Amino acid sequence: MATQTQTIRRGFQPTRVHDYLYDPHHVSASERDHARSTFKAHTSVDRVKRVPLYDTMFSELRHHPRFQMRLDVTDPVPKFISRQWRGYADQKREQLIRYTTFNYDPSVQVPPKQFADAEVSGRNRYKFFKRPIIPFLTQIPPEVLLATARQDPLVGTDQLHMERPPTPPTKTVETQTDYRDSEAQTDPYTPEYVVRPGSAPELLTLATLSYGRGLPAGLAEVEMIERARAKRAWEATLPPLNDTSQLDKRRRMMDEMERKEWALREQEIEKLQEARLEVLKKLLKQREENHQELNIKRLDKLWSKKQKEKEVKIKRIRNEHIKTIRKLTGKRKKVEGKLERRQIINEYSGYGSQTYAPLTRIGMFLDRGSEQYVVKSRHLSTYQGLMELEASLPDFVLNPRIKAPKPKTVTKAGHTKRKFRQEQELMEMHETIKEARTRGEEPPKPLRFLQKIEKPIPRPPTPAVDEPSEEAEQEVKKQEKQATLALQRQRRLHEHKEFLVDEAMSHLEGSSLGDMMDFLSKELIRLQEERRIHAFSMLAERQRRIREAEESGRRQVEERRRREEDEVFKQVIKVHQRSVDTYLQDIIMNSVDHTADLQARAEIMETAEKINDVAYEVEDNRTQLESEEIVADLVHCFLLPEVQKITVRDKVKRSQRRYLLAAHKEIVKDGEETISMNAKPPRTAPTTTGAPAQAETKQEVQEQTQQVSEGRGAQS
């Protein structure tokens, strides 16, 4: 007999129950995954055990099980094993890395990542060694044929070296890794550098930029670099400080550059404010959409909940209706109130009765617990398994040899059974009939004892007359009386049956009316509850609408207040800008007047010197009459117009002084009111940054106005 070897392949188990505690290479993504692994370990199937019940250990009945399932209360993990998640340190380190990436804080130090000891010289030494591949020391199987050498072993080394193809300068080597390129990318490395003395490379001006904070450079960084280059070129064109003759030119160039920087800064602030306004609009729109979506979800959830409650109530009412109809049908079957005994023989003889096929509505479920008897095997679910199962079965299972059993005709006591005895008698009778048919009619046999027996002559009947007797009369009366009593008894029975039928019908009508009234009362209560719930829902809807109206009112008030604050802020910024423009215009006008005055004075001095020279020459040669004409001409052409001009100028300054003082008072008053209204710190960064400059500008404007007023007062 051949021996068959069957290999049972067990499925690979990817993880064990407590790997999240014991395995050092097990990694949980978060604390939630660790809690999920703990829950799976506590509720695993391995901790469920079968505990036998000694009272019904050998029972096969369903309602008396042999065992029960219990959860093992002993914890397989020792108490000294930590149950906490091992990723808190890595999570804290990642938070520090994220903080230092987006915030420059030299006081924060990221702890270095510590790796476990590889134990190269210890228990993990075998992982770092490999057996060398030495030819002809490894055993070669006899069926392996080695490839022949392509080179002649007798050729010299010089010729072999000459015939060797040249080695290319570069080689392309392809590798395949388990990681993507994006996962292996790190921050670009910045090497150390040394600056040559006396040189200032332009690249060092970008040392403040780093990877992720300005690098790789975008449009804003390129504009910043171009502005820095332009400013360095402008600084190179500035006059030196040791040249006192060009200090005014240097001051003018610096003022012009400062105005350009202020204008650029204002543009940046406006762009930043516009971007923030766009972000705020998007956030408000997103918040409104989220609120609307939440309201829709809440309404859908409430509607589905009401629909489920409605379906549950309708199902309960239908079940009650079916149960009531079934009870009424059962009561109608027993109208006369007859009690029927249980027919045990009929129940066990009929396979469609409650004993063999109980109804589910009574509470009997035949297929309950049937899943424990389901056989799940590879030999039954796959074709290969069926073939193996068929091959493993013996021959007598597939080719059965059935012998008809001989019936036992004799009992243990030695008597023939009635069935077989009757069959035997029938067979004998059948044989006798067959023999009689085949034999035919027999000839009559001769009489052995012939003797004639004469019959006596019968006597004629004697006539008689029936005479009624007293006993017969009494018997007739008795029979009549019994018939009358029987009729009366039948009448009473009939009346009793009619009474029972009337009573049953009245009971049936009363129960039907009672059930109908009960149903109507329940329906009335249900309608009242439904109306009350509808009223509550209407009140809740009204309260919700009132709250939404209040919320919308508050939102409108907030938006209006926000618009007012924005308008106030814009007006303040506009006033400050106008003040700065007025201040700068006054400074420019004063500087222009001063420069013009100096140039005019210089030209006048030159002209005066020339005129003096000419006048001295003329005086040497003029007469008295010419001198008087010259004096009169000078007084008429120079002195009188200049006096008139000075007088007109003073009048204009005095008329403008009160307007200037009124404007100064209004500016100071509006500025104080605005500062008192906006006592809180401003919300945006540009306003906070520009506050000191605005205060200095305001103070300079006040000082300049006071100086102008004092100077004019002195002149007046």
Q: What is the pLDDT of residues 512-543, one digit of tens each?
A: 888 888 888 888 998 888 888 988 888 889 98
Q: Would you state the structure tokens that stand for residue 14, as one six-digit string? A: 């990817």
pLDDT bucket at 312, cuts 50 / 70 / 90: very high
Q: Which of 76-90, 315-329, 512-526, 701-715 has the lowest mean pLDDT?
A: 701-715
pLDDT tens-place string over residues 270-292? 999 999 999 999 999 999 999 99
* Stronger pLDDT, 361 or 253, i.e. the higher one: 253
> Among residues of the chain, what percentage have pLDDT more than 90?
8
pLDDT value at position 445?
67
Q: What is the dihedral of CA 471, 473, 476, 480, to 10 degrees?
A: -120
- Single-letter code of the amino acid located at 633: D
Phi, psi of 501 (to 5 degrees): -65, -45
pLDDT bucket at 714, cuts 50 / 70 / 90: very low
Please tell me the distance from the alpha carbon of residue 373 to that of residue 529, in angstroms, as a whole number. 49
Element (H, E) at 48: strand 48-52
Decide if 81 contacts 74 (C-beta within 8 A): no
- Identify the top-confidence range among 11-15, 462-466, 503-507: 503-507
Candidates 595, 587, 596; CA nearest to 705 is 587
Q: What residues does each domain of the chain span?
A: 19-71, 272-334, 492-594, 623-716
pLDDT value at position 109?
82
Output the DSSP codes for 621-645. Answer: H--HHHHHHHHHHHIIIIIHHHHHH
Please tell me the distance from the alpha carbon of residue 516 to that of residue 133, in angstroms, as a whole number. 98
- Identify the top-confidence range among 270-274, 324-328, 498-502: 270-274
Please tell me the distance from the alpha carbon of residue 419 to that of residue 407, in angstroms, as a whole number. 11
Q: Tell me, what DSSP letter sits at residue 45?
A: G
pLDDT tens-place string over residues 65-115? 888 888 887 888 888 888 888 888 888 888 888 888 777 677 888 888 777
Candidates 20, 22, 25, 11; CA nearest to 40 is 20
Is residue 486 scored above 90 in pLDDT? no
Mean pLDDT, residues 179-185: 55
pLDDT value at position 451?
63
Q: Which of 34-43, 140-149, 353-362 has the lowest mean pLDDT?
A: 140-149
Candidates 16, 20, 17, 18; CA nearest to 85 is 20
Q: Tell me, what DSSP letter sits at residue 352?
A: T
pTM: 0.24
* Stronger pLDDT, 689 or 552, i.e. the higher one: 552
Please, what is the average pLDDT of the chain? 78
Please tell me the distance from the alpha carbon of residue 422 to that of residue 92, in angstroms, as a whole number. 101
Is residue 402 scored above 70 in pLDDT? yes
